Amino acid sequence: MQNSLLMSIGDSHRVLDDQLAAVGHAVQERESTRAIVQKTDAFMIHACRHVSASCAVILPTARRELPGGRRRVQLYIEQVRRLERSVAQMKRRLYGASRSIRLPWTQVWEAMQHELAELMAIELAIVADVAADVGPRTGGRLARRLAGSEAGSPTRPHPNSPHTGWFAPLSRHFWARADTFWDAVEGRVVAGAVKAFKAPARLA
């Protein structure tokens, strides 16, 4: 019987892959600015929430239980920071920030694809070992905690904030509240809620 923790991570990875592919297709097919914004935001929100929840739920067990756990957690966090920087770059490009507006969308998308693939490979290896170590019952509890943590996690990248340690939960709580405010200001569609918003004037 497959561990539900592995199934949960696999499902999240498939959704993230599909969402990022949808962004690439939308840009390539020159869909409306509104459609591109919605699809890109959907991916970025899910990616930020997923890595935040993984840091909160999976990493403490990995550090404590796995051989070389501390080093593996460190490598994972380094990759999380790289992914979050790529998400931040994508968001700046999406909303027309002056220092990113000249970057080709293909370059931004391919960088994002690379960092996501790297992160998923590291994460899957850690989760597979954690699942094997803790067994199906504890794995199921971790999967439920992961889902609950994702729902309340930050929706924006914060690569310079602590991802583990005693201050990390306070940081995540602070940024989740701050992100909720700025999401409302920008009219981002979060967790399926439909909000009216003004799309950027141009993406090209």
Query: How distant, in Å, are the alpha carbons of 21, 100, 119 from that of 204?
Result: 18, 12, 28
**pLDDT at residue 94 in the model:** 81
Q: State the Cα–Cα distance between residues 193 and 204, nearest whole angstrom.
A: 27
Q: State the Cα–Cα distance between residues 24 and 113, nearest whole angstrom.
A: 10
Percentage of residues in the chain having pLDDT higher than 70? 90
Q: State the Cα–Cα distance between residues 59 and 165, nearest whole angstrom.
A: 10
Mean pLDDT over 7-33 rounds to 92
Whether 188 has a pLDDT exceeding 90, the answer reads no
Query: Is residue 23 domain-resident?
Result: yes
Whether 74 has a pLDDT exceeding 90, the answer reads yes
**pLDDT at residue 61 in the model:** 96
Query: Is residue 195 domain-resident?
Result: no
Query: Is residue 154 domain-resident?
Result: yes
Percentage of residues in the chain having pLDDT higher than 90? 68
Whether 25 has a pLDDT exceeding 80, the answer reads yes
**pLDDT at residue 179 in the model:** 95
* Sign of the dihedral defined by the CA atoms of residues 110, 191, 122, 54, in that order: positive
Mean pLDDT over 98-118 rounds to 86
Mean pLDDT over 54-74 rounds to 96
Domain tally, the chain: 1
**pLDDT at residue 105 in the model:** 84
CB-based contact 198:187 (threshold 8 Å): yes
Query: What range defines the domain where residue 60 resides?
Result: 4-186
More confident residue, 34 or 80: 80
More confident residue, 24 or 81: 81
What does the mean pLDDT of the chain come to?
A: 88
Whether 203 has a pLDDT exceeding 50, the answer reads no
Query: Is residue 197 domain-resident?
Result: no
